[in-house]
């Protein structure tokens, strides 16, 4: 699994195609980071989005 780019936790399951790069966050960090970016569309990683 990816690491959260904010807290470096091992459970980064949320991806944002509107942010640059292949960043991923855990749930709380994704909400925190995107509280100021309401136009971004977060994607919860599941089978469909896994590469
Ligand atoms: Zn985190
Ligand atoms: Zn974003």
Query: How far does the centroid of ligand 2 lie from the alpha carbon of residue 50, in Å?
Result: 18
Query: How far does the centroid of ligand 1 lie from the alpha carbon of residue 26, in Å?
Result: 4
What ligand has the least distance to the C-alpha of 5? 1
This prediction has a pTM of 0.73
N- to C-terminal Cα separation, the chain:
11
Asked if 41 and 16 count as a contact pair (C-beta separation under 8 A), the reply is: yes
Calpha distance 29→33 (Å, rounded) = 6
- pLDDT class for 45, splitting at 50, 70, 90? low
Say if residue 31's pLDDT is above 50. Answer: yes
């Amino acid at each position: 699994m990816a690491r959260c780019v904010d807290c470096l936790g091992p459970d980064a399951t949320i991806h944002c195609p509107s942010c640059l790069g292949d960043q991923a966050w855990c749930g709380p960090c994704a909400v925190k980071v995107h509280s100021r970016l309401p136009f971004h569309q977060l994607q919860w990683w599941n089978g469909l989005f896994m590469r």
